[in-house]
Amino acid sequence: MKRNIKFIYELIKLRFQHLMMFRLGFWGPFFVDGSLFVIQLVVFQAIYANVDTIGPWGKGEMVIFIGTFSLVNAVNMVVYFFGVNGISGKIRNGDIDLYLTKPVSPLLRLSFEQVNPGSLPLVALSVCILWYGVRLCGLRVSAGHVLGYLVWVTLMIVLWYEMEVIIRSLTFFLVSTVNITRLEDAGIDLCMKIPGVVFRGIYKLLFYVILPYGIVATFPTMYLSGDGTLKMWLYGIAVVTVFGGITAFLWKTELKRYNSVSS
């Protein structure tokens, strides 16, 4: 573990050094991602301007929901998205061979070699939205609530990472994962606009179990607003654990079956 942490630190350090060699490339994403965030807020304002409640939630809970989804996505964009998103291409063109020859976990290096500081403003702006949502709800938030909420956000960040790795590592078996990633994008887009508390029947099965993006912002919001239960905790931890097991199993199995494109 200590060795892996040191390796991650060196990867991030090298990434920042590379970005700082091209100052516009370093600061440009700050402006671009910040602008996209503002546009996203305008879209949500247009959608919810004339809506008082969505299911059992009022505007305060919806603002917390939006802030939570934005926070999880922002951390995803900062830490591992660009690295994990390149897995499919590296498998198809054979670049994955280089990672297999290194004395470190290929997935570890792929996950952290493309850290993107350009999305850091989104983290700060997401926290501002959360603060506004808490004010709208009139919640009294203690240090314990904040800690519990951060645990939930961490669990959901891990779950999102697991889903991304599973989908992109299917390239080991498939010629193209374009249609699967389109399904992923559609699911994320839907679950970013509609809270999981309104899903019923087949939609709940799909977005709570099969593609569990429906719980990413819903469960942390329920906890922070005081609606969290022990059953919710157990289910959330179970989902993250199960998908973690699936991720590890698929990745190890696929690497054993992998044949270099040069062979």
* pLDDT confidence tier of residue 2, bands split at 50, 70 and 90: low
Model pTM score: 0.84
Domain residue ranges of the chain, discontinuous segments joined by + = 2-257
**Can you tell me the mean pLDDT for 18-37?**
56
Query: Cα separations (Å) of 252 from 57, 126, 171, 184, 249?
Result: 42, 35, 14, 23, 5
38-47, 178-187, 195-204, 248-257: which range is least confident on average? 38-47
State the Cα–Cα distance between residues 104 and 112, nearest whole angstrom: 12
- Is the pLDDT score of 232 beyond 80? yes
* Percent of the residues in the chain that have a pLDDT greater than 90, as a whole number: 29
- Work out whether the CA dihedral 101, 105, 111, 114 comes out positive or negative: negative
DSSP string, 65-132: HHHHHHHHHHHHHHHTHHHHTTHHHHHHHTTHHHHHTSSS-HHHHHHHTT--GGGHHHHHHHHHHHHH
* pLDDT confidence tier of residue 119, bands split at 50, 70 and 90: confident
**Can you tell me the mean pLDDT for 168-186?**
75
Tens-place pLDDT, residues 184-217: 888 888 888 888 999 999 999 999 999 999 999 9
Residue from 210, 240, 235 nearest 222 by CA = 235
- Is the pLDDT score of 22 beyond 60? no
**Can you tell me the mean pLDDT for 21-27?**
51
Tens-place pLDDT, residues 58-110: 888 988 998 999 899 889 888 888 888 888 778 777 778 777 777 777 888 78
Half-sphere exposure of 52 (CA within 13 A, CB side): 0
Average pLDDT value for the chain: 81
Asked if 84 contacts 156 with a C-beta cutoff of 8 angstroms, the reply is no
State the Cα–Cα distance between residues 216 and 68, nearest whole angstrom: 8
pLDDT for 130: 92
Biggest distance spanned by C-alpha atoms of the chain: 63
